Amino acid sequence: MTTYTVGYLVGSLSRESINRTLSKALIRLAPPSLTFTEIGIGNLPLYNRDLDASYPPAALELKAAIEAADAVLFITPEYNRSLPGALKNALDWASRPWGANSLTHKPSGVIGASPGALGTALAQQSLRGVLAFCNAPQMTAPEAYIHFLPDVFLEDGTVANESTEEFLRTYMQEFADFVERVHTILPQRRGQG
Ligand SMILES: Cc1cc2nc3c(=O)[nH]c(=O)nc-3n(C[C@H](O)[C@H](O)[C@H](O)COP(=O)(O)O)c2cc1C
C-alpha cells in the first residue's frame, strides 16, 4: 500500500472551532493510506510583498510544510460568504515569491462546516478560485458542505450519525484515490510560479 502525507489547514483560529472538530472526524474516518499533519496558519504576519526577498520564518515554515506534504486538505469556515482572511493570507504567502509557488501541482481538497444550512458553499467556491489560480489540482467531487450540528459532531471527532459518518468516510476515500491519481499522472514539481 502506498501511503500519502496530507497537510491539513483549518481556516479558523478559534479555540472552539467547529471546523477543527470536523478535521478530527475526517482524520478518524480516513483510509490508512493517508497520514495527517496540521499546517498552522495562526502565526503568520500579514502578507507583504516587500518581504519577498526575506520571508519571515513562519511563512518559510508554511511553504516547507506544504512542499513536504503529498497533498493539502482545507477545512474552512465561511466568513461573509467567502474564505476567512487568515486562510487567504496563508495562501498568499504559500504562492509567493513569484516563481516559487508552493501549491503548484499539489493535490488539494476542500471541505467546511457551518451552523448555517449552506454549509460553507460560498467560502469553498472562493477558495477553489484561489487554488485554481495557484495551479493546485482540486478534487471537485464529491463536494462536502457540512451543516454542523453539535450533537452529531462530538469534540473528539466521533460522528454520532451513521449516514453523515458514511458520507465523510466516502469523502476521505475519494480524496485518497484522487491524491493517488494525481501522483500517478502528474510529476510533482516545485516553484513553477
Ligand atoms: C466574521 C464572521 C463572518 C461569518 N460569516 C458567515 C457566512 O458567511 N456564512 C456562514 O455560514 N457562517 C458565517 N459565520 C458563522 C460561522 O459559520 C461560525 O462562526 C462558525 O462557527 C465558524 O467556524 P469555526 O467554528 O470553525 O471558527 C461567520 C462568522 C464570523 C465570525
Residues 111-162 pLDDT 10s: 999 999 999 999 999 999 999 999 999 999 999 999 999 999 999 999 999 9
Q: What is the pLDDT of residues 49-94, one digit of tens each?
A: 999 999 999 999 999 999 999 999 999 999 999 999 999 999 999 9
Residue 8, strand partner residues: 38, 73
What digits encode the pLDDT tens for the residues 182-193?
999 887 765 555
For the sheet with 71-75, list strands across it.
Answer: 34-38, 4-10, 71-75, 108-114, 145-147
Q: Kindly give the residue spans of alpha helices, DSSP state H, lying in 7-142.
A: 18-29, 57-68, 85-95, 121-133
Model confidence pTM above 0.75: yes
Identity of residue 110: V
Residue whose CA lies nearest to ligand 1 atom number 23: 77
Q: How far is the CA of 150 from the centre of ligand 1 (A)?
A: 15
pLDDT value of residue 193: 52
State whether the beta carbon of 95 lies less than 6 angstroms from ligand 1.
Answer: no
Q: Other CB atoms closer than 10 Å to residue 165's CB: what's the count?
A: 16
Pocket residue to mutate for ligand 1, from 16, 21, 82, 114, most atoms within 8 A of Cβ: 114
Q: Is the CB of 14 under 6 A from ligand 1?
A: yes
Q: State the pLDDT at residue 189.
A: 62
